[in-house]
Structure 1
């Protein structure tokens, strides 16, 4: 069948299970948009391409499938680049699709609209790779390769560029059927060695990262078999429900976690980089006791060298460990975990003391299966990270490694697109929300019942504190916040400004059932 490059692209995406894309139509990508309805692909419109990338990221994290953003050339691609960098940092399968300058475009340029010197090269240094196709027939193969890259091994973002002339050109493009692949099988002797060490451990502990999001049941089973306390990284938050007797929750940077590691004779780390963006205060004392499970052969020896390294899918490996480990009585395990959990709770509450009033009010309003899309804001990393209970994997969406501002709101929109019936809440600061505040209009257009909690401390509070700590002049950090509730109404949302914690709880509870987004403006310094 002879088709245009645009039709071949959409057909190839659909063949790989894509039913939703996030983006903005533009002059150069209309040949892609032309075919979305034909293939029943849902388009979730956004107001800025960065929002498209973050929404696709949120969609990918909660659905477990690659998120797809479709943008136009030049500035649109560069607008989305921050989201691609965030996805790379947090190992999220995000496909950015864009047109590019024509295949035979002059090397020195000729002033074409949106012309960029080398768009694909720019994205190649941010994504896992960027591929520029050269024919209509190549498009299905390029899409298949992108999905193979994103769904095997460690997930990373990919950029696919289709030149303008190829989008419009006609040619034959047979659809490439996705190749199903079983998760990687670990080396048997390494699993046996890990099982033997765990079997002999008297005081084991488990650290769970984002790489274990799909391994909820085996992680819980393994923890219960070992009687091991479980602490998670930011991206692992909720893999073990935080009210489980063995759960210490998230926040591996706290002193109580270091004490747990020092006390333990074996520490099993599943799917975590053990990166400084999670640890904050330097590496953990893991020498001589570390068993590491990771699908990435490079990451498994990065930041901490394991005594036993098991390369493989977290679900497959933990299931196999459960099978090899026999039943074990762990009479003291609950009390051991409880002691460390209480120490950690006290430390987390002290660290987030300024934000606990807000966090507790939000916790009172959240259903057990709620998802929180958080921004890089003090209320999130000091307050919610270690103190707000989450009971499901991918229940706390956060821009961990790259630390972008503006992530939370569009990520929440993406999460709602993936799981429309799930209660989702965005938690933001007054500085970060302004990076993507236009996405309130996107959410309002879709009539999403979404609480958008903006905790307003009058500017860039973290940077203000750093200036003080450095004894620098404090400047350029104080912001005159708008009336966010009034702004919400002008954009088609509901807007409220609660006066106290009880009012905050009531506002969020009501927002989960509203017929549109609700902006809840928390004037933090004034709440009592």
Structure 2
């Protein structure tokens, strides 16, 4: 096989059926073999969009997402997406050509030459692997998948020198290696079970690391009678209409009070990171029992009284074997309802400006819908804590890295990965401009995708921070384009709304359409915003 053929065959052997990417001079030997191997190619309009689409695909399907790009600027364009995947523990594989094996050490101006593109990606991914011969390529692919799927999921960069892509060599394809999911040590599980059994006011804090343990989380919560609060990435692990669910928003004051009141807190698959908590660490002390597949993560941000280092699903099943066999029942549900009401008041107060929009979305979206959000006020103040979600991986949000431009390409990747799921993109007018070109991708694919752009005339969060600091307010307010007209120009349908009235109907129509629909929701008057900035 040629190196390009070996690479595509190895991806296929590892179950890859879809890649997102853009062809270029140096990766054509990879592209040559995609169709013959039966791998679908989706063409975003920018490599950052390819990375975010692969991320959305991975979060929705539970399988690694793959982006294939060319060298130099193309690969570096994926860097923000790789950083986001690292931050949120998402298995994304970025494949690119590299400089030739015997390229001059100080360079000679070859097309797309960069000093050390592998080093650049190694600084933000779990690893940057460089295959230096054709026989090594399937091994490198297997290594990449082992890193992405063993333990804590992380992104990986795989580089094949462009001359190796064109060479031929003998190839032995390897089957995927199924990494055994670790379970916590039995003595630690027994200690945790004893601690939880004796608790009268237990609480569960659940993160994205529990997405594969939804059933186990539900059973543990019911057995203990514990209210469940999730992070943004854990949203939907327990359906948010479950009697014990308090929904997402570990940063809210009521959750801090709930944790203060608890005698044991069971944290599953969450970093308890500042980007989740917003206002500082929770007061957990030795009341914390922590389940985490990453031993470093298990002692970061909060030192547990008992650490259970292992896969969330397997470790919770081991814990269930030692917990009382009867559910806590009605008293637990009443306690959860009381705290749910208190938390809801905090969430509504925080998201007051966005509640009508969120209510319209909740009215229109089916129970199995996926919402891909951007780092926008309507998402982190509105939808995260007030929009009900009922299955794991149904709220895609760039939590830790906090990138802009994520939501639109992530929604495309989610819809490609799960075509039967209703998918909606929820964006701000500032962030969507980072990846606005992906409207063309959604149009090309004919996706029935509502793309809701909530327009508050610029970077509203930063504008508010400037005001809070009593700084001069500038560079944050601007008039938006006519997004509906822009959508139509790029092959989508387009609707303009001047308030939440009509939003539910527009979303329903978009979910049933034969193409993507841009729904431009004008949330404020840009002239008034500009005048306010001038003051």
The aligned counterpart of 2:506 is 507
The whole-number CA distance in structure 2 between the counterparts of 1:158 and 1:501 is 41
Pairwise CA distance, 1:146: 0.5
The aligned counterpart of 2:375 is 376
For residue 302 of structure 1, the aligned residue among 300, 306, 330 is 300
The whole-number CA distance in structure 1 between the counterparts of 2:195 and 2:27 is 55
The whole-number CA distance in structure 2 between the counterparts of 1:202 and 1:377 is 39
Pairwise CA distance, 1:141: 0.4
Bigger Cα displacement from structure 2, 184-193 vs 421-430: 184-193
Pairwise CA distance, 1:185: 2.3
Q: Is the 8 A contact 1:136 1:171 kept in 2?
A: yes
For residue 218 of structure 1, the aligned residue among 216, 219, 225 is 216
Query: What SS does structure 2 have at the residue aligned with 1:172?
Result: coil
The aligned counterpart of 2:340 is 341
- Residues 1:40 and 2:38 aligned together: yes
Give per-residue Cα distances to partners, 1:244-276, cap 9 Å, x unaligned. Answer: 000000000001001110111000000000000
Q: Is the 8 A contact 1:376 1:405 kept in 2?
A: yes
- Residues 1:404 and 2:403 aligned together: yes
**Which runs of structure 2 are paired with 1:164-243 in the superposition (5 Å)?**
164-243=162-241
The whole-number CA distance in structure 2 between the counterparts of 1:364 and 1:326 is 39
The whole-number CA distance in structure 1 between the counterparts of 2:238 and 2:373 is 19
Pairwise CA distance, 1:501: 2.5
For residue 289 of structure 1, the aligned residue among 287, 290, 303 is 287
The aligned counterpart of 1:53 is 51
The aligned counterpart of 1:74 is 72
**Which runs of structure 2 are paired with 1:327-338 in the superposition (5 Å)?**
327-328=325-326, 329-338=328-337
Q: Is the 8 A contact 2:56 2:414 kept in 1?
A: yes
Give per-residue Cα distances to partners, 1:11-55, cap 9 Å, x unaligned. Answer: 001110001000011111000000000100000110000000000
Pairwise CA distance, 1:331: 3.4
Pairwise CA distance, 1:479: 1.6
The whole-number CA distance in structure 2 between the counterparts of 1:502 and 1:406 is 26
Give the aligned length. Answer: 525
The whole-number CA distance in structure 1 between the counterparts of 2:304 and 2:209 is 17
Give per-residue Cα distances to partners, 1:277-299, cap 9 Å, x unaligned. Answer: 00001111101210000000100
The two structures have a TM-score, normalised by structure 1, of 0.98
Q: Is the 8 A contact 2:65 2:91 kept in 1?
A: yes
Pairwise CA distance, 1:526: 5.9
The aligned counterpart of 1:122 is 120
Q: Is the 8 A contact 2:16 2:39 kept in 1?
A: yes
**Which runs of structure 2 are paired with 1:145-156 in the superposition (5 Å)?**
145-156=143-154
Q: Is the 8 A contact 2:217 2:238 kept in 1?
A: yes
The aligned counterpart of 2:491 is 492
The gaps in structure 2 that reach 5 residues or longer are 527-535
- Residues 1:13 and 2:25 aligned together: no
Query: What SS does structure 2 have at the residue aligned with 1:131?
Result: strand
Pairwise CA distance, 1:340: 0.6
The aligned counterpart of 2:530 is none
The aligned counterpart of 2:264 is 266
Q: Is the 8 A contact 1:226 1:330 kept in 2?
A: no
Q: Is the 8 A contact 2:47 2:75 kept in 1?
A: yes
Bigger Cα displacement from structure 2, 54-63 vs 322-331: 322-331
**Which runs of structure 2 are paired with 1:332-481 in the superposition (5 Å)?**
332-481=331-480
The whole-number CA distance in structure 2 between the counterparts of 1:447 and 1:116 is 37
Give per-residue Cα distances to partners, 1:59-112, cap 9 Å, x unaligned. Answer: 000111100000001000010010000000000000000001101000111111
The whole-number CA distance in structure 2 between the counterparts of 1:338 and 1:325 is 23
- Residues 1:322 and 2:353 aligned together: no
Q: Is the 8 A contact 2:12 2:37 kept in 1?
A: yes
The whole-number CA distance in structure 2 between the counterparts of 1:303 and 1:523 is 40
Q: Is the 8 A contact 2:498 2:523 kept in 1?
A: no
The whole-number CA distance in structure 2 between the counterparts of 1:180 and 1:92 is 18
Pairwise CA distance, 1:523: 0.3
Distance 1:526 1:474, change over 3 A: closer
Query: What SS does structure 1 have at the residue aligned with 2:497?
Result: coil
The whole-number CA distance in structure 2 between the counterparts of 1:433 and 1:500 is 19
Pairwise CA distance, 1:499: 3.6
Q: Is the 8 A contact 1:232 1:251 kept in 2?
A: yes
Distance 1:366 1:208, change over 3 A: same
Pairwise CA distance, 1:498: 2.3
Give per-residue Cα distances to partners, 1:357-387, cap 9 Å, x unaligned. Answer: 1111111111001000000000000111100
CA RMSD of aligned residues (A): 1.0
The whole-number CA distance in structure 2 between the counterparts of 1:366 and 1:526 is 27
Give per-residue Cα distances to partners, 1:388-438, cap 9 Å, x unaligned. Answer: 110010110000000000000000000011100100000000000000000
The aligned counterpart of 2:516 is 517
Q: Is the 8 A contact 2:268 2:312 kept in 1?
A: yes
